[in-house]
Homo-oligomer: A and B are copies of this chain.
Amino acid sequence: MRKVGVAILGLGVVGGGTYKMLTEHREFYQKTQGIDIVIENVLERNKEKALALGVQENKIAANIAEICSNPDVDIVIEVMGGVEPAKTFVLSALNAGKSVVTSNKELFCKYSYELEKAAKKNNCGLFFEASCVGGVPVIRALLDNLQGNKVLSMMGIINGTTNYILTKMTDEGASYEEVLKEAQRLGYAEANPTADVEGYDAAYKLSILSSLAFHTKIPFSRIYREGITNITAEDIQYGKQLGYTLKLLAIGKNTDDGIEVRVHPTYIKSGHPLASVKDSYNAVYITGDCVEDVMLYGRGAGAMPTASAIVGDVIYCATHPTFRYSTFKNTEDADPSTKFIDNFKSAYYLRLNAHDKAGVLAKVSSIFSRHNISVAQMIQEDDGAADGRVPLVFITHQTKEKSILKAVEDIKETNEIADVISVIRVVS
C-alpha cells in the first residue's frame, strides 16, 4: 500500500483535531482510499501538548527545516494561523517540494499570489478548502462544480461567532454586550473578539471566495467592512416586526457594471434560507446564471469540522497527484481592468428618534424625496420614551449607498427634528 507522509504545523484546536482524525481513521483510509497516511512530524513549541495528544517524541520536529528535509514527508499541513511564521514555513515547505494543505484564511487571502507561484514553480499541490467555512465544501464547489456558471452573486454567513451572537440577540432579546460575554465564557468568542465582530474574518474569506467565483483577484482592501458592535436588540426587534432577520452577511456581486464586495450587518427576509441559519452554523448562498440558487450549509469552524476539510484535501492531494488547483488568473493585486462598485444599490433600514412627532414625517419624507429615495415600510410608535422622543423606523426601496448617506446627513442636520440611531442595509 502506498504510504503518504504528512507533517502538521501547529497543534492548536484545529491541529489537534487533524491529528486525532488522521490517527483514528488510519485504517479506514487504508481500506477506503488504498493509502496509508502516516504522521511523520509535528511542529509544536509546546512539547507537552504534543505528547499529551499521543505524538511520539521523535516525531516532534525541532524546526521547519527538519520537516522540509525529511524525505518521508509528502504533505505539510499548516494550521498555525496568522501571517508569520506561517508564511515562511509554507514557502519553505513548497520550495522543498512538499505539497501544502492550509486552513489559514488570513495568509491565503493576503499572499495567495506568492504561495501559488511557489507551488507552481515546485510542481506541488496547494490546497485551502479549510480556509473558508470549515467543513462546508464551498471552495471545491466553486472550483470544480459551479465553474461553468457565471456566478452572479454570493451571500454568506461565514463567521460563526457573530452568527452565534446575533442568533442569541434575536431569540432572547439580549444586548450585544451581554451575549458577547456569554460567548466568551463558552469559548465561542475570543478574549479579543475584534477579528470576528468587526468582520475581518468574514472579509478574508469573502476575498478568497469571491476571487474564485469571479475568476479574478479580489483583494481584501477592496472589501467594504462593517462589524456588529453597534447592533442593538431594538433594531433586531423592529426588523422582526417588519419580516426581516439580522445577519452579518458577506456579499459578492458581479454585474455588468462591475464587482461589489462587502461585509456588513444585513436584514434578510425571514423566509430566506439564510435567515434560518442559526447559532454557530454557517452557509453560503450562491446564484449562478445556469445553476440558479445553491446553498451550502454546515459547521464553519471547530476542531473536527475544520479537520474534515483538511483531511479531505490531504486525501485529494494524495490521490490526485497532478492537481491543477486554481484556474483564475491570479494576480498580486486586483487586475487593473476590474471595476469595483463602491456606490452600490441596496434597500436600507433607518431608525430615528423623533423629537417632534407632528413634523418629523413630513420633514424626513421631503429629505428622502430630494435624494430620490422611496419608502417601502414604516413604523411610527404611538408612545415615545419619557423624554417625549418617538421611535420611527423606515425601510426604503433600492437606492444608491451615496444617496442614503447624504439623506442621513441631511436628517442629522435637522437635529431639532430627529436623531439618526441606526442605518442598516437590507437585502430585498
Binding site for B on A (CB under 8 A): 17, 21, 25, 28-29, 31-34, 129, 135-137, 140-141, 144-150, 215, 273, 276, 288, 290-299, 302, 304-305, 307-309, 311-312, 314-316, 319-324, 327-328
Contacts and interface: CB of A to CB of B under 8 A. Distances in A.
Nearest to A272: B276
A376 B31 CA distance: 41
Contact of A148 (B25, B34, B295): B25
Given A144-B316, A145-B129, A298 B308 contact: no
Nearest to A308: B291
A148 B308 contact: yes
Given A137-B145, A315-B147, A294 B292 contact: no
A276 to B, nearest CB: 6
A254 to B, nearest CB: 12
Given A32-B215, A144-B312, A145-B140, A298 B290 contact: no
A320 B320 contact: yes
Given A145-B308, A295-B296, A295-B297, 11 more contacts: A21-B290, A31-B215, A32-B327, A32-B328, A135-B146, A135-B294, A136-B294, A137-B141, A276-B276, A292-B305, A321-B322
**10 nearest A-B pairs in the assembled complex, by CB-CB distance:** A148-B311, A137-B145, A135-B291, A291-B308, A294-B298, A295-B297, A290-B304, A290-B308, A32-B215, A137-B141
Given A32-B328, A140-B144, A148-B25, A290 B305 contact: yes
Contacts of A311: 148, 290
The oligomer's copy count stands at 2
Contacts of A324: 319-320
A141 B17 CA distance: 20
A21 B17 CA distance: 42
A419 to B, nearest CB: 38
B298 A297 contact: no
B307 A28 contact: no
B297 A292 contact: no
Given A290-B21, A291-B135, A308 B146 contact: yes
Contacts of A315: 147-148
Contact of A297 (B144, B273, B290): B273
Interface centre among A25, A290, A293 (most CB of B within 10 A): A290
Given A137-B141, A298-B294, A147 B312 contact: yes
Contacts of A136: 294
Given A315-B148, A320-B320, A294 B293 contact: no
B290 A307 contact: yes
24 contacts: A17-B290, A21-B290, A25-B148, A31-B215, A32-B328, A129-B145, A135-B146, A136-B294, A137-B137, A137-B146, A137-B296, A145-B308, A145-B309, A146-B312, A276-B276, A288-B308, A290-B311, A292-B298, A292-B305, A293-B299, A294-B298, A319-B327, A320-B322, A320-B323
A8 B32 CA distance: 34
Contacts of A33: 147, 327
Nearest to A21: B290
Contacts of A321: 322
Nearest to A214: B32
A284 to B, nearest CB: 11
B295 A298 contact: yes
A268 to B, nearest CB: 14
A272 to B, nearest CB: 10
Contacts of A140: 137, 140-141, 144-145
A305 B319 contact: no
Contact of A304 (B144, B215, B291, B304): B291
Most buried by B among A32, A148, A273: A148
> Which of the listed residues A25, A28, A292, A319 has the most CB atoms from chain B within 10 Å of its own CB?
A292
A6 to B, nearest CB: 12
